[in-house]
Amino acid sequence: MPEPTPLACPGDLVALRQCDHVDADRPVRLRVTEIWPSPEEHSWVRIDGWEIDPDDTDRDGKAVSVRAYKDALRRPGTVTTVDRG
């Protein structure tokens, strides 16, 4: 069954802990550019975006793709939505 509301949308800010995404080696904050649906049996969705890390100029502003766990995206405070008008 599809999600009743999107887990994240382009423009949203997503802050993932290391344990919140597949094969993670660190926490990631990103501004979503695209979110890819996955089959219902998968526990994750692919999110593309621009990394936000003002403390690391090598990563800040770089394009990233993560496979974020759906449960993590449902946790309050993980996704900050933009004003959709």
Taking 60 as the threshold, does the pLDDT of residue 10 lie above it?
Answer: yes
The position carrying tokens 């933009």 is: 82
25 against 83, higher pLDDT: 25
With residue 70 as reference, give the H or E element that holds it.
Answer: helix 70-74
pTM of the shown model: 0.87
- Spell out the domain ranges in the chain: 13-80
Q: What is the pLDDT of residues 42-85, one digit of tens each?
A: 999 999 999 998 888 888 899 999 999 999 999 999 999 987 66
